[in-house]
Each structure stands twice: as structure tokens, then as C-alpha cells.
Chain A
Amino acid sequence: GIQVEQSPPDLILQEGANSTLRCNFSDSVNNLQWFHQNPWGQLINLFYIPSGTKQNGRLSATTVATERYSLLYISSSQTTDSGVYFCAVALYTGTASKLTFGTGTRLQVTL
């Protein structure tokens, strides 16, 4: 199956700092999603980005499918950005997109 590696595994930032999270994957994909898991465990989809670049407020993401990586940018970080960020990928096989998740980047934003 597809292997997904996320880096860094842990990140501590001061409020207001910027950061870049990386997701590398081992094979071709046509479905890539970024999720944020807040400290209470809720998983929220941030981006559906199999290729190209998208922006949503202070967050943006870029996927370069041909080079098998995706980047999540967080600008002007806030304490509410704390939590775990997961990248998940899949290759459409004809029945369903079965996402494979990375092990996540744990982000802590301090005052």
C-alpha cells in the first residue's frame, strides 16, 4: 500500500509565527486531504487538494503530485491552531477512495 510520511513529527511555535508541514507519499495518488485534529479529538477537513494550490484564510496548501509531496502552510499561528495535522492520500481504484493516513504533525502554539 501507499506509505505516507509527515514531518516534522512535533512542532512548537510562538503565537504569530509561520510554519510549513510536509507530507511525502510513496506512490501516485488522486485524492489528498489535510485534516486538523483539535485537542478534544475532533477531526476537521482543511483541504481537499490532489494537486495545485489552495488557500483558506491563514492556511494554504500545495500538492506537487508528480514529485509526491504536499505542503501545508500556517501563517500567523494562533493558539487555536494547536493539535495534530494529518495528511491522508488515496488512489482511486474503481470502488472507493480508501484514504491512508500519515502519523501526523503535533503542533503546539504558545503565547
Chain B
Amino acid sequence: NAGVTQTPKFQVLKTGQSMTLQCAQDMNHNSMYWYRQDPGMGLRLIYYSASEGTTDKGEVPNGYNVSRLNKREFSLRLESAAPSQTSVYFCASSERGDNRDFSSGANVLTFGAGSRLTVL
């Protein structure tokens, strides 16, 4: 059981280049998320997908686009990379994101291993 798999693990880009971070989960989860982590800070939500076919902005969406390709896969695209996008990116999933039965744990996040992106 692989859980949440992200690729690539490391990437160096030049300013203005584009790239896509891939994320796949094999837990049949409905909700998927992209976070970024910067030094000395917690994680900040970029985009999320509450269920297949839907996506929505998080706290820091500028400069990014996402695609929920199917239930398993959620990709993050940088169309024109900027040095401010240098960060570690984490994909996560949860069984649900809207579970009102708060004793069930269906909202628990499982994270991928992270992708370290450097923009020069």
C-alpha cells in the first residue's frame, strides 16, 4: 500500500519555466490537497479538491493551477515559475473533507513525501 505518491522529489527550474507536480493516492480517498511549506512556517493550502470533478482555491493559489485528473490523481502546475515559488510541496488526501461525523476520522490527512522545488 503506497499511500500518497508524489513526483518528482526534487526539481530545479529557471524563472519563467513551467512544470507539473504529480500526485496519486491508492486509498480510494475522495479529497486531495496541495500544500507548500516554507522555512520557519507551517504548511499553507494552495488548492484542494473536495471530490472528483471539483477544485477550489486555498490560502495561496496565485501562480498555480490544478487538475483533478480522476479520483486517484491531483496535479499542481506552475505555468511561469518565480523564485517566490521555491518551496517544499506536499500533496495530501483524506477519505472525505466534509465529514460531519467528527468521531470517525474520515477527515484525517495522509501526506506524500514532499517535492522540493528550487526556482533560480
Contact of B97 among A50, A88, A96, A104 (CB under 8 A): A96
Chain B neighbourhood of A43, CB < 8 A = 90, 92, 111, 114
- A45: CB under 8 A from chain B? yes
Q: Is B88 an interface residue (CB 8 A)?
A: yes
Indicate whether A103 reaches chain B with its CB closer than 8 angstroms. yes
Instruction: Indicate if A101 sits at the interface (CB-CB under 8 A).
Output: yes
- Main secondary structure, interface of A, reads loop
Residue contact B42 to A97, C-beta cutoff 8 Å: no
Contact (Cβ within 8 A) A96 B56: yes
Q: Which residue of A lies closest to B110 (CB)?
A: A45
* Size class of the B contact interface (CB-based, 8 Å): 20 to 34
Return the CB mask of A40-71 against B: 1 if under 8 Å, else 0. 01111100101100000000000000000000
Across the interface, which residues of A come within 8 angstroms of B45, CB to CB?
A: 98-100
Interface string of B55-96 (1 = CB under 8 A from A): 010110000000000000000000000000000101010100
Ordered nearest first, which 4 A-B pairs have the shortest CB separation? A96-B97, A101-B42, A96-B50, A43-B111
**Cross-chain pairs A/B with CB under 8 angstroms, 16 sampled:** A1-B59, A4-B42, A41-B113, A44-B111, A45-B108, A45-B111, A48-B105, A86-B43, A88-B109, A92-B98, A95-B97, A96-B31, A97-B98, A97-B99, A98-B45, A101-B44
